[in-house]
Amino acid sequence: MALIIHAGSTNKNAMKALIVAEYTGVKVELVKDFQMGVSNKTPEFLSLNPIGKVPVLETPDGSVFESNAIARYVARLTDNTLFGASLIDYGRIEQWIDFATLEIDSNILRWFIPRIGFAVYLPPAEEAAISSLKRALAALNTHLASNTYLVGHSVTLADIIMTCNLVLGFSRIMTKSFTSEFPHVERYFWTMVNQPNFLKIVGEVKQAESVPPVQSAKKPSETKEPVKPTVKDAPKEEAKKEVKEQVAKPEAAEEVVEAPKPKAKNPLDLLPSSKMVLDDWKRLYSNTKTNFREVAIKGLSFVFPSFKKLISV
């Protein structure tokens, strides 16, 4: 019986466990019909994860949340070398997993999330985030100058988690001119995402050409999923965001990416014509400065005859 991950299909955090499963042969599937902001708000979901975030793994023995924990759990289901071949290997794999999370991912998100409008944009905070990210990438670059993999001589869980975190950065906000300062990180990243087990889950990655422009204060959002990091299909415009409440904490936001729809005739244009002209009402509403009730509300009843029954003017 396959393990089920509750997350959207573009969630880079869910990809961690899915890539592990490719390496180890365990069956892990994404839940069907997951709707961000809806599926993770049900009482059933909250009993799996009281904070209501994704991804969550469902197993026959119970649920696990936190993407790194899920990836570790899946990795321990079978004998494999994803945790290294010695105790010191293990310690270092855990160290790079934590580094990938606290130094790389958190700073990428601190930079990215306000720019796509899901947290308040504050220039000094952004400057500090970029500085911290550069410091972390410089340290990673130093390590990768003499190492092909983070630990040992083959892919471990540290590489899977680090790469998934970098996918978000490379595809959405770190341009070539930014990453060219860290050539060993670049080499590492492109090697990793082209490994067959990564390619199968992540798909083709194209590096961002520009930093997202700062959005004005946006729709709030509550439970979020990481943005779609891959370009499995042709690049699409972000046509729709499902969001609820604005949180400043750097959490990844889910964006539902839809293809631009061909312009169709709006069926409302095909209705029989009406003597009410909506723009007339809007103009009346906006221009009425005094005696609002007498003028605008009364006027509404002329513009919208059946409204007259609802108000006493």
Minimum Å gap between C-beta 143 and another protein is: 6
Token output for 221: 């959002």
Sequence-ordered list of residues with C-beta below 8 angstroms from that of 47, at least 6 positions apart, any chain: none
Minimum Å gap between C-beta 79 and another protein is: 13
Looking at the Cβ atoms of 151 and 300, the one nearer to another protein is 151
Looking at the Cβ atoms of 42 and 142, the one nearer to another protein is 142
Looking at the Cβ atoms of 127 and 294, the one nearer to another protein is 127
Minimum Å gap between C-beta 72 and another protein is: 5
Looking at the Cβ atoms of 49 and 171, the one nearer to another protein is 49
Instruction: Give the type of residue at 151.
Output: V
DSSP string, 53-110: -S-EEEETTEEEESHHHHHHHHHTTS--STT-SSHHHHHHHHHHHHHIIIIIIHHHHH
Alpha carbon distance 160, 152 (integer Å): 14
Total Cβ atoms within 10 A of residue 30: 19
Minimum Å gap between C-beta 91 and another protein is: 3
Token output for 177: 């001119």
Minimum Å gap between C-beta 46 and another protein is: 8
Judged by the rule CB under 8 A, the positions of this chain that interact with another protein are: 49-52, 57, 59, 61-62, 64-66, 68-70, 72-73, 76-77, 86-88, 90-92, 94-95, 97-99, 101-103, 106-107, 110, 119-120, 122, 124-125, 127-129, 131-132, 134-136, 138-140, 142-143, 247-249
Instruction: Give the type of residue at 276.
Output: M
Minimum Å gap between C-beta 132 and another protein is: 4
Tell me how far the alpha carbon of residue 258 is from its chain's centroid.
15
Looking at the Cβ atoms of 94 and 187, the one nearer to another protein is 94
Nearest in space to 144 (alpha carbons), one of 188, 181, 107, 108: 188
Alpha carbon distance 229, 226 (integer Å): 8
Minimum Å gap between C-beta 251 and another protein is: 8
Nearest in space to 26 (alpha carbons), one of 68, 67, 72, 62: 72
Looking at the Cβ atoms of 41 and 76, the one nearer to another protein is 76
Alpha carbon distance 111, 298 (integer Å): 51
Total Cβ atoms within 10 A of residue 47: 9
